[in-house]
Homo-oligomer: A and B are copies of this chain.
Amino acid sequence: MGSMNIRDIARLSGVGVSTVSRVLNNHPDVNAKTKQKVLRVMNEHNYMPNNSARNLKRIKSRTIGVVVKGITNPFFSPMLRVIEGELARRGYAMFLTQADDFADEIHIAAELQMERRLEGIIFLGGIFQYSKERLSILKVPFVFATIQVSSDMEGECYSTISIDDTLEAYRATRYLLERGHRRIGILAGAFEEKSINRLRLEGYLKALGEYGIGYDEHIHKNCNFTYKGGYEAARSLLRETDVTAIFAISDVMAVGAMRAVLEAGKRIPEDIAIMGFDGLDLTEFTYPGITTVCQPSEQMALEAVTTVLDIIEQKGNHRHSVYPCKIIERGSTGWTEEKIDNGYKGEDLDREMGEHHDQGKGAVAP
């Protein structure tokens, strides 16, 4: 048992294979009694249909593929929960796949659409520019979430759900400028790179420009998106420059930067203010909390599902949604955080952002 096939089940149940197949696929027109018998035999031998064979024949699967670039990125966790939930609500299954940092997510999606007979694809994260030819291998509707995609393909061939990285970085920088900061260090990736790095840097520069402040390469630290990257970049910023504020273009780096500042004996926000980006729940639980540009990630996840399913079900066309972020003010930029006795300080955030209580899940099993 275990390596039973549909024919074995048919024989043992005294029916034909097509009847077994019908039971398997919940076809309506099969005698209730026959169905029970077949199900019992299946259970007794714990029969398990072969997915490869099914997918080989099947035309539609009511399955949406989700290709995540860097599945361990904490930013995606709540989004995945929302996507799976909403897909289930509308009667679709989610097939989740991880793409490594240097993997070709389009190729992965292309293989998947065939293998799993996907009816749609949602990309989370990934690169910025795809050629028309590359995208053309995708035969089912697809949407890019959380990235602004540019390609030479007609915009009507796919959807995007994103934020305006430049605008939001601009707003974050203005936030600091308006509170008197003039020397604002920035932790980001290389300037040349076409990516969120670039876009957010442009917003930063635009805001500075409005205050008559030019680009200063000394206070732009090029670092990777890790705690350690933020820590080291902030350290050299403190050692070599006279910044009064640090803008980290990801919350993870902001956490590392915070460590560097406190370790150096400086106060936050009195000596150095810190601004993050993304809205990870971790930023609410550092001390002080980190002011951050919060992306409405769960709304965006919902929109990704709605968009792709609407197209599949012919209820809509490809569209390009841009969501506004919200600066969540916390102690790292001088906001007075409510204290322990005033009740749970996170309630406001919860109300704004919807349920995201299980974010930042720790080691459950290890």
Contacts and interface: CB of A to CB of B under 8 A. Distances in A.
A256 B76 CA distance: 20
Contact of A147 (B110, B357, B365): B365
A255 interface: yes
A51 to B, nearest CB: 4
A250 B56 contact: no
Interface string A60-76: 00000000011111111
A170 to B, nearest CB: 17
A243 to B, nearest CB: 15
Given A80-B72, A340-B260, A225 B362 contact: yes
Contacts of A239: 340
27 contacts: A48-B114, A48-B137, A50-B114, A52-B55, A52-B115, A71-B72, A72-B76, A73-B362, A73-B363, A75-B363, A125-B365, A226-B357, A226-B359, A226-B362, A227-B359, A228-B346, A228-B357, A228-B360, A252-B360, A252-B363, A255-B285, A256-B285, A263-B340, A264-B339, A265-B339, A278-B366, A280-B362
A139 interface: yes
A335 to B, nearest CB: 14
A196 B226 contact: no
Contacts of A361: 70, 72-73, 225-226, 252
A284 interface: yes
A146 interface: yes
A340 B73 CA distance: 28
Name which of A226, A251, A340, A365 has the most chain B CB atoms within 10 A of its CB.
A365
Return the 3 tightest CB-CB contacts between A and B, nearest first. A252-B362, A125-B365, A72-B77
